Structure 1
Amino acid sequence: MKIFTYQPPSIPWLDIRYQDRDIIVINKPSGLLSNPGRAENTFDSAINRLLQRYPEAILVHRLDCATSGIMVFALNKKAESNIKTQFQNRVTGKYYVALVQGVITDDSGKIDLAMKADISQPPLQLIADDGKSATTYFEVLERRVDTTLVKLKPITGRTHQLRLHMKAIGHTILGDDFYGDDNIMTASDRLCLHAEHLQINHPFSHKVVKFYSKHPF
């Protein structure tokens, strides 16, 4: 595992995809924390960048620092409560796109492997029968020479779920500096995981709204 040096990208500073009176949606770049860590040098984050322009912005969900893609933020307390409840009750619709090692032979499948924290190596996780249930559906989008572009739909939201599930079936996500070997880490200068689509019920109108940011792989 690489030693983590936090150097968030500055361009674009904020890639805003949608805004109304209740929510704001951004396309978060890989390498930017969703919210600040404890260390002083981790202050720069998606929520703190938003707060500079929108002091009322509220974080309602997270993406891993290395993961890029669609994030929604609330702009008032009612919207915050509504959207958080949607995530907790798993009524949101979301999928990710990843570029993984090797060629996946099955066109689609289900990964149902429980997970828990690896207490000897935080923040890593591990597959464990006594862990919390974790389910991911996958669908092959494109088979390349020695990699596969795959759509991933997590049903649960465990820490590092997509990274660990793909590794468990022998197809580690390229650029994964937590669970990949040297070949995986040198195959890409970033984690090849992108939150491409998010669907929620709008907290005010209650209509279904969908947000999309095409993957860069």
Structure 2
Amino acid sequence: MYNPDRPQVLPTRRGVSPSCVAVPAGPWPTLLDFLVHRLPAVTRAQWVERMAQGDVVDERGQPVTPERPFEHSLRLFYYRQLDTEPQLPFEATVVFQDDELLVADKPHFMPVTPGGRYLHETLLVRLKHQLGLETLSPIHRIDRETAGLVLFSVRPATRGAYQALFRERQVHKHYEAIAPWRAELSFPLRRQSRIVESEQFFRCCEVPGEPNADTTIDVQEVRGDLALYRLSPVTGKRHQLRVHMNALGLPILDDHFYPVVNDPPEGDYSQPLRLLARGLEFDDPVTGQVRRFTSRLQLRWPAPQAGA
């Protein structure tokens, strides 16, 4: 998992920071044997090749060789590699940049940070590589399927001050979504509920209990049986907006997780989730300025059906 505060003993390579694994006490004869056991997706031959290239080191920067005896209580650093990775035919746009902050417009389908099948084709790695900013770190996240604004810290010394804004709910966020229109609902409305991870780890659901998710929903435009909604979350639970809209009988258009899972084929980008992180506003804890950022992206309404 990406951790910007982890010390690095290998340089960033093409925007990719080294990964780290802690070595516990155990029965392995060599550090190579431990790595093969702990990270089986990489074969023994691949680890040997990486070691020969000097791409596996300990926390002191000492190379790990295939013959090096096992030693616990170490941290080992290496570069994560993928045999295959989907190539995303989209580009992110830098909306704002100064010595402290960078704000980018993320396209649909692009993850913010490395994970799973994605490494180089992530917003963070692309920006670090393109701009040469090794210290760049996301202050918050949005879903891979969601487009719009993502805020990054440029300097580690001030990163904590900006992260505290989100933790203390001092950032005003609003999103736009295209979803069904229900004239019987009265807007604006406030949805408060308890959201937890469902049995399917990649989905969430509402359950009884004290609310931990809070969203205000309003209508901006109605076109036939669809509407453009303004969503203002107070909290930041995973999939919060998608779960709240679905619970109201307003599933966001082309949501492939809610109400049912319906993943499109690999490489099919024709039906993006109609959800956009439109705006961010906060008082800058470093400069004292009022910061307001607006996405330059637009949600695409579906084409009218023939005869409609």
TM-score by length of 2: 0.63
For 1:3, the equivalent position in structure 2 comes to: none
- Alignment partner of 1:18 is 2:96: yes
Which one of the candidate residues 280, 287, 290 is aligned to 1:198? 280
User: Could you say what secondary structure the match of 1:113 adopts?
Assistant: strand
For 2:16, the equivalent position in structure 1 comes to: none
Q: 1:5-52 deviations in whole A, cap 9, x for unaligned?
A: x7463332x300100011111000010001111x3x310211111111
User: Aligned pair in 2 of structure 1 residues 131, 59: CA closer, same or farther (>3 Å)?
Assistant: same
Q: CA deviation at 1:181?
A: 4.6
Distance between the aligned counterparts of 1:131 and 1:121, measured in 2? 22
For 2:195, the equivalent position in structure 1 comes to: 115
Which residue identity does 2:218 align to in structure 1? E
- Alignment partner of 1:45 is 2:125: no
- Alignment partner of 1:85 is 2:164: yes
Q: CA deviation at 1:131?
A: 6.4
For 2:112, the equivalent position in structure 1 comes to: 34
For 1:61, the equivalent position in structure 2 comes to: 140
**What residue ranges of structure 1 are gaps of 5+ in the alignment?**
1-5
For 2:304, the equivalent position in structure 1 comes to: none
Kept after mapping to 2: 8 A contact 1:31/1:67? yes
User: Aligned pair in 2 of structure 1 residues 86, 8: CA closer, same or farther (>3 Å)?
Assistant: farther
User: Could you say what secondary structure the match of 1:114 adopts?
Assistant: strand
Q: CA deviation at 1:135?
A: 0.9
Which residue identity does 1:47 align to in structure 2? L
Q: CA deviation at 1:170?
A: 0.5
TM-score by length of 1: 0.87
User: Aligned pair in 2 of structure 1 residues 98, 7: CA closer, same or farther (>3 Å)?
Assistant: farther
Distance between the aligned counterparts of 2:292 and 2:153, measured in 1? 15
Q: CA deviation at 1:216?
A: 2.1
1:88-99 alignment runs, 5 A limit:
88-99=167-178
For 1:144, the equivalent position in structure 2 comes to: 223
Distance between the aligned counterparts of 2:174 and 2:211, measured in 1? 21
Q: CA deviation at 1:55?
A: 1.5
Displacement over 4 Å in runs of 4+: none
For 2:153, the equivalent position in structure 1 comes to: 74
User: Aligned pair in 2 of structure 1 residues 10, 200: CA closer, same or farther (>3 Å)?
Assistant: farther
Q: 1:93-132 deviations in whole A, cap 9, x for unaligned?
A: 11000001233542311011111111x2112111101365
Distance between the aligned counterparts of 1:26 and 1:10, measured in 2? 17
Aligned-pair identity (%): 27
Kept after mapping to 2: 8 A contact 1:59/1:74? yes
Query: Higher mean Cα deviation, 102-111 or 89-98?
Result: 102-111
Which residue identity does 1:200 align to in structure 2? F
The count of aligned residue pairs is 205
**What residue ranges of structure 2 are gaps of 5+ in the alignment?**
1-84, 265-269, 301-308
- Alignment partner of 1:216 is 2:299: yes
Distance between the aligned counterparts of 2:101 and 2:89, measured in 1? 23
Distance between the aligned counterparts of 2:124 and 2:227, measured in 1? 32
Q: CA deviation at 1:84?
A: 0.5
Kept after mapping to 1: 8 A contact 2:138/2:150? no
Distance between the aligned counterparts of 2:281 and 2:102, measured in 1? 13
Kept after mapping to 1: 8 A contact 2:192/2:211? no
Distance between the aligned counterparts of 1:122 and 1:91, measured in 2? 29
User: Could you say what secondary structure the match of 2:103 adopts?
Assistant: strand
Distance between the aligned counterparts of 2:282 and 2:124, measured in 1? 19
Which residue identity does 2:140 align to in structure 1? H
User: Aligned pair in 2 of structure 1 residues 157, 182: CA closer, same or farther (>3 Å)?
Assistant: closer
Distance between the aligned counterparts of 2:128 and 2:211, measured in 1? 34
